[in-house]
Amino acid sequence: MAHSWNRARADERITHRLEEVRNVTVLDFTRDMSLENIPVNRAYRIAAAHLYADILNLDEMLDATQTEGTDCHRRTLRFLNLHYRAVHRILNECDARRVDFHNQRLHAIVYKPYGADSEKERVDRAVAIASLIMDVLKETGDSDDKIPAARVRVGIDTGRALVVNNGRSGNREPLFLGRPANHAAHLAGHADETGIFLSNAGRKAIGLAELNDGKEYTAALTSVEIDGCVERAKLGVSKDKIVEDWRQDLKDNPIGTFEFCRHTPPLRTLDIEALTPKNSRRFEATSVYADVDGFTAYVSKHLEGAPENVVRCFHVIRAELDAALSSDFDGRRVRFIGDSLHGALLEGTAYETDAEDTISTMTLCAGGLRSSFDLSLERLQKRGIDVANLGLQIGFEYGPLAISRLGMQGDRVRCCVARAVLASEDEQMRCQGKETALGPTAYGNGSAAVRKLFGATRKVANLTYDVAVDALSAEGDKVAKAAFDQQLAVSAPIILTRPEQILRPHCKSR
């Protein structure tokens, strides 16, 4: 059966998700509350310093060889695993909370000591932890395996955010929504220059002069400013001790070689939670990012007045995007990253991927994601929930992907590395809230119909499912034509030929 999107099916799912968040409770976070397993209909307001650390040389690992083969992916995964283990040890020693470790990007928070009066202490600790991370990762390469030390850029902001449940069953963790998390991420991802970049809110909290004209993105903290934070924070742990313990940990619990096998389609059935270095997956596929545009401003607007609607909007949209990818098109969500979904999709067999069919299906899926998003907004608005100024940016690219989990047994994190992963995020980032873009490799391997649809810019606005299936099928794309024919068969009128059919019109055929 061809993969397709169906409005009635999506509407039924959205109705179910709306019921899950009909009654939402939002509380101010206190020390006796837990950030584990937050119900979908609950959220906490929490004051914290947010730290994002970007490893800047991941692309160098992926581009180290002309061909993106298994050796390239093995070294990249080992590169990330070495550094993840070191950062994990730092956060544990310094009483900070890891929120996410998405490939090259770490998000952590410092929320102790509690309370509005302790903001200065939290920012001092965040800067001190960032300095420790940068110093430790300078020494955690592996010359025997041609793995360099990490080059790191850190962004830090402070303030109140909304913490909700992130993920579905079996992969639940807290997620922080709002300006401090988003701004810290932008400070970290702004440029390829190492250093610690502290927001004006953070600078004000520790008594530093605020910076004008966007200089907080370009002026790293000086060594004197960092040393002052380190001295005041008194972390009680040294770089040398962390590195020593990290090296002993590697001897006691060696990472081992990353071994790959191929997953038999559909990709929806891939059990990522069962993966380990020796049981990793690798295949040619599309990597896709779908990011809710304008959501940070939306959270800031409603954080105090209507936080319940933030939770409703967030839960309904993300759950439906996940369902459209996995249920409608047999793709696989790799993870949620804030208000963004990262997934993968392929068409083919247990032995090889059909590149052209994969890219056509991904184009239809991108249309399905936008149609699901639009329908979610429509249904939320009917419930009286403000959805103004929200959009969806979608980007995808094709290539070999490697999927595994990093870290220690009992505390592993999902990881999907590839040039296509970095490129698909870049494609998403060059979109406005109504646009969809695909990368050059997907464009080159796509059908003539796909290339015509996206044009020379490789970008198109308002690409809903109906637009995608009509445009591709009209140009002879076989994947779209199969979906179009299926759509016609489902919507075709029923011709009654027997009297008993007229007498029992509501009976379902078996």
Last residue of a domain, one of 210, 230, 252: 252
Confirm if 366 and 288 have CB atoms less than 8 A apart.
yes
CATH number at residue 275: 3.30.70.1230
Confirm if 88 and 94 have CB atoms less than 8 A apart.
no
| Residue 56 within a domain | yes
Assigned token pair, 467: 């637009």
3-state secondary structure of 476: coil
- Cβ-Cβ contacts under 8 Å for 137 (sequence gap 6 or more): 55, 83, 86, 87, 149, 150, 152
Could you tell me if 320 and 457 lie in one domain?
yes
Could you tell me if 146 and 295 lie in one domain?
no
| Residue 314 within a domain | yes
pLDDT at 154 over 90: yes
If one counts the domains in the chain, the total is 2
| Residue 94 within a domain | yes
Could you tell me if 15 and 40 lie in one domain?
no
| Residue 507 within a domain | no
Last residue of a domain, one of 252, 277, 292: 252
**What range does the domain containing 219 cover?**
34-252
Assigned token pair, 139: 């020494």
Q: Of 72, 62, 22, nearest to 42 (Cα)?
A: 22
pLDDT at 506 over 50: no
pLDDT tens-digit series, residues 365-385? 999 999 999 999 999 999 999
Grade residue 29 by pLDDT with cuts at 50, 70 and 90: very high
Tally DSSP H helices, then E strands, for the chain.
17, 15
pLDDT at 18 over 50: yes
CA dihedral 499, 503, 507, 510 (to 10 degrees): -20
Q: Of 214, 242, 249, 209, nearest to 134 (Cα)?
A: 242
pLDDT at 508: 35
Confirm if 140 and 83 have CB atoms less than 8 A apart.
yes
Could you tell me if 163 and 180 lie in one domain?
yes
pLDDT at 149: 86
> Which alpha helices (DSSP H) does 346-477 contain, by range?
355-382, 419-429, 440-445, 448-454, 465-474
Q: What whole-number distance in Å separates Cα of residue 33 and Cα of residue 30?
A: 6
Using CB atoms within 10 A of its CB, is residue 209 exposed (0-12), middle (13-18) or buried (19+)? Answer: exposed
Confirm if 415 and 376 have CB atoms less than 8 A apart.
no
| Residue 176 within a domain | yes
Could you tell me if 268 and 222 lie in one domain?
no
Could you tell me if 56 and 149 lie in one domain?
yes
pLDDT at 148: 85
Could you tell me if 237 and 272 lie in one domain?
no
Higher-pLDDT residue of 168 and 395 is 395
> Which alpha helices (DSSP H) does 253-306 contain, by range?
295-302
pLDDT at 504: 36
Could you tell me if 146 and 40 lie in one domain?
yes
- Radius of gyration of the chain from its Cα atoms, rounded to whole angstroms: 24
pLDDT at 143 over 80: no
Neighbours of 429 (CB within 10 A): 13
pLDDT at 255: 73
pLDDT at 150 over 70: yes
Q: What whole-number distance in Å separates Cα of residue 83 and Cα of residue 97?
A: 17
Could you tell me if 446 and 484 lie in one domain?
yes
Assigned token pair, 173: 């963790």
Lowest mean pLDDT among 168-172, 212-216, 283-287, 354-358: 168-172
pLDDT at 498: 46
Q: What whole-number distance in Å separates Cα of residue 170 and Cα of residue 128?
A: 33
pLDDT at 319 over 60: yes
pLDDT tens-digit series, residues 220-278? 999 999 999 999 999 999 999 999 988 888 888 777 789 999 999 999 999 999 999 99
Confirm if 291 and 339 have CB atoms less than 8 A apart.
yes
Neighbours of 510 (CB within 10 A): 3
| Residue 2 within a domain | no
Could you tell me if 72 and 39 lie in one domain?
yes
Is the entire prediction scored with pTM above 0.75?
yes
pLDDT at 236: 93
- The residue assigned the tokens 């979904």 is 341
Could you tell me if 227 and 305 lie in one domain?
no
- The residue assigned the tokens 């932008």 is 186
Last residue of a domain, one of 187, 222, 252: 252
| Residue 288 within a domain | yes
Could you tell me if 101 and 211 lie in one domain?
yes
Lowest mean pLDDT among 37-51, 104-118, 399-413, 464-478: 399-413
Mean pLDDT on 86-94: 93
pLDDT at 256: 74
